[in-house]
A and B are shown apart, each in its own frame.
Chain A
Amino acid sequence: MNKTKPGIEQYCNKEGSSSKSKTAKKPSSGSSLQKQYLQKEYAQQTLGSGNLRLAVHLPEGEDLNEWLAVNTVDFFNQINMLYGTITEFCTPQDCPVMSAGPKYEYHWKDDSQFKKPARVSAPVYVDHLMSWVQSQLDNETIFPSKIGIEFPPQFKTIINDIFRRLFRVYAHIYTTHFPIIVSLGEEAHLNTSFKHFILFVKEFDLIDSKELAPLSDLIESLLAQTKNQ
């Protein structure tokens, strides 16, 4: 297995940094729609009325890594399916750069093809991202499938990298493609999946809070709902 940490791709806040991406175009959704996902009629749509907070707890006596592993595969599948329903609208023309709203851009970097952060379109970025996650999941030395084989010592670091990257797909869907989500009637499904993801992330401290900034207002609103349950 490659022992070096997977590359950290450039994550630039276009307000705060003197970044080279001055030419970045705004995402195609108009500014009036940018925070559509925060409107009450959408943000409060979730599936079922049970307590998601309980669902993320490590079951009594269970192995932490085993629990992280099975949930990672679940979230990867969920994001794959959700993004799959909007691929028709996430084209290189519509989304020439991977972004999470006008203030955040993501540049792809990895250990093989892209040693320098590359400004690629959202569909290309997501394709690299999901393939990279898939390759981690398929790696027997990271995610052992045989009974009795242990997880590697750096497992938690890899999990953190996977979650940090998966978050970006949610962020792109919310900030750029939410009108399509609404027209497909998927807002409750997306919200429930994302809320579950965030509760899991918080429970096991998987993503640095500055990485969550593009959706911090939504996260606050979803977590407030859980408290009121």
Chain B
Amino acid sequence: STVPSLSTVEQSSSTKIFFESYYHRLLTNPSGRSRRRLQLERQLETLGISEADKTEMRQEWMANETEYMRLMREKISVNSFLIL
């Protein structure tokens, strides 16, 4: 038979919604990360601090982004709701 059951149709609907919002987010420009990067640069401009301090703040920002990615990985891993 090639007629999907109701539960398959329901699962398919939620899967499609997941993909649509995932790719909408991914393909929306600028990405969250580059938006945050711009915010940082604007902030650095207004602070009137030395280049060395700016470099340090950029490094700190980068470390936070890396940390954030690791937390995200843990989160999506735990939330994988359709384990076979």
Chain A residues packing against B (C-beta within 8 Å):
47-52, 55, 59, 61-63, 66-67, 69-70, 73-74, 76-78, 80-89, 126-127, 130-131, 134, 137-138, 143-145, 147, 179-180, 183-186, 189, 192-193, 196
Contacts and interface: CB of A to CB of B under 8 A. Distances in A.
Select the residue from B65, B66, B73 with max chain A CB neighbours within 10 A: B73
Given A126-B84, A145-B74, A189-B20, A81 B15 contact: yes
Interface residues of B, number: 36
B62 interface: yes
Interface of B: 2, 4-5, 8-9, 11-12, 15-16, 18-20, 22-24, 26-29, 31, 33, 62, 65-67, 69-70, 72-74, 76-77, 80, 82-84
Contacts of B4: 88-89, 180, 183-184
Given A47-B19, A48-B24, A189-B16, A84 B82 contact: yes
Contacts of B66: 62-63, 66
A127 B83 CA distance: 10
B53 to A, nearest CB: 18
25 contacts: A47-B20, A47-B23, A50-B26, A50-B27, A52-B26, A59-B65, A61-B62, A62-B66, A63-B66, A66-B66, A66-B69, A66-B70, A69-B73, A70-B70, A73-B73, A76-B80, A81-B15, A81-B82, A84-B11, A137-B77, A138-B77, A145-B73, A183-B2, A184-B9, A196-B26
